[in-house]
């Protein structure tokens, strides 16, 4: 069996591209290796992870930018590289973005839970002698000093709020809360009110179907953007929906980073 061992460091999570918070980065890493588009990879939050390869393979790292080392030497990102048995890959703390993505040729065998120190991961056998030519440009991770811009459209409950609420949602700056996780990007700022237009009365409380990118407005008034691990439904109104192509940027945003919702 082909395998790597998590020697030390932070937690990792095996995800398929449709569950990665930065889907384009995992798709790029898979493409560089000639993997199937749906091949699972490893999502590494912040860095600090050390992996030891029991058997040789080929790898590609994309997503966040930071110091990644192979046997002590800097490993270039967004490039396919072969690794020998016994090789050690270390993920230093990120400089830009927040999530690294590691793809291994043949794909990583799916895991049911968060991975911790001492866990062994299995992966497919390397194939071929070379790597495919990939026309995708190298992606630069987000600069945390710049705001993340996410375009939004009115959600199914937008009519329950007056124009001022929508204007504030889409014009005022928001800050990504440290409480954000894979379930949702929680925004901090000046809370939104539940003001309704004219004599419009909102309907009775009900369960709303959620999609990734749904912008919920809970009683606190602080918007929450549903991310990859969101529940199927929510009792909170869905005031807006983030455009699908802007979700990857949110997946690389850091706590404390400014977020602009453009409507």
Q: For 193-243, what is each residue's pLDDT tens digit?
A: 866 665 555 556 678 999 999 999 999 999 999 999 999 999 999 999 999
Task: Provide the pLDDT for residue 238.
Answer: 97
| Cα–Cα distance, 186 to 180 (Å, whole number) | 5
In a domain? residue 157? yes
Q: Tell me whether residue 40 is in a domain.
A: yes
Q: Are residues 69 and 157 in the same domain?
A: no
How many Cβ atoms are within 10 Å of 71's Cβ, its own excluded? 12
- In a domain, residue 140? The reply is no
Would residue 130 count as lying in a domain?
Answer: no
pLDDT at 27: 92
Domain termination residue (choose one: 123, 140, 163)? 123
pLDDT at 113 over 70: no
CATH number at residue 40: 2.60.120
Domain final residue pick, 106, 123, 140: 123
Q: How far apart are CA 22 and CA 20, in angstroms?
A: 5
Asked if 161 and 238 count as a contact pair (C-beta separation under 8 A), the reply is: no
- 31 SS3 class: helix
Are residue 187 and residue 92 in the same domain, yes or no?
no
Q: Are residues 156 and 246 in the same domain?
A: yes
- Residue 134 is assigned to a structural domain of this protein: no
In a domain, 132, yes or no: no
Where are the extended beta strands (E) located within 126-257?
148-154, 174-176, 184-188, 208-209, 214-216, 224-226, 233-234, 238-242
Q: Are residue 45 and residue 155 in the same domain, yes or no?
A: no
What is the per-residue pLDDT across 144-197, written as a single tens digit (0 to 9) for each? 889 999 999 999 999 999 999 999 999 999 999 999 999 999 999 999 986 666
Q: Which residue bears the tokens 């996780």?
A: 181
Tokens (6 digits) for 100: 């690294």
Residue 126 or residue 215, greater confidence:
215
Identify the helix (H) or strand (E) that includes residue 169: helix 163-171
Q: Tokens 């040729």 belong to which residue?
A: 105
Same domain, 162 and 116: no
Q: What's residue 1's pLDDT?
A: 43
- Altogether, the residues listed in the chain come to a count of 263
Mean pLDDT of all residues in 89-103:
94
Instruction: Show the domain range for 61.
Output: 2-123
Confidence of residue 142 (pLDDT cuts 50, 70, 90): confident
Q: What is the pLDDT of residue 37?
A: 86
Q: How many domains in the chain?
A: 2
- Residue 25: inside a domain: yes
CATH number of the domain within which 207 lies: 2.40.100.10
- Compute the distance between CA of residue 151 and CA of residue 141 in angstroms, rounded to an integer: 19
Q: What is the pTM of this model?
A: 0.89
The SS3 call for residue 188 is strand
Q: Which of 107, 123, 139 is the last residue of a domain?
A: 123
142 found inside a domain: no
**The predicted structure's pLDDT at residue 90:** 94
């Amino acid at each position: 069996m082909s395998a790597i061992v998590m020697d030390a460091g932070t937690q990792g999570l095996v995800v398929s591209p449709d569950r990665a918070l930065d889907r384009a980065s995992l798709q790029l890493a898979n493409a560089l290796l000639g993997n199937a588009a749906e091949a699972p990879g490893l999502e590494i939050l912040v860095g600090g992870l050390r992996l030891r390869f029991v058997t040789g393979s080929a790898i590609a790292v994309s997503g966040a930018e930071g110091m990644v080392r192979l046997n002590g030497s800097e490993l270039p990102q967004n490039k396919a590289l072969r690794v020998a048995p016994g090789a050690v890959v270390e993920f230093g703390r990120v400089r830009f973005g927040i999530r690294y993505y590691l793809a291994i040729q043949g794909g990583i065998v799916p895991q049911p839970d968060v991975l911790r120190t001492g866990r062994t991961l299995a992966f497919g056998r390397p194939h071929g002698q070379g790597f495919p030519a990939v026309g995708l440009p190298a992606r630069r991770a987000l600069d945390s000093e710049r705001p993340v811009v996410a375009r939004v459209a009115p959600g199914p409950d937008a009519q329950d709020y007056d124009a001022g609420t929508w204007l504030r949602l889409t014009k005022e700056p928001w800050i990504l809360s440290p409480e954000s996780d894979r379930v949702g990007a929680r925004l901090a700022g000046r809370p939104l009110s539940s003001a309704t237009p004219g004599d419009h009365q909102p309907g009775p409380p009900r369960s709303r179907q959620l999609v990734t990118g749904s912008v919920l407005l809970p009683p606190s008034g602080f918007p929450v953007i549903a991310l990859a691990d969101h529940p199927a439904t929510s009792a909170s109104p869905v005031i807006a929906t983030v455009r699908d192509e802007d979700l990857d940027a949110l997946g690389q945003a850091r706590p404390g980073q400014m977020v602009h919702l453009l409507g």
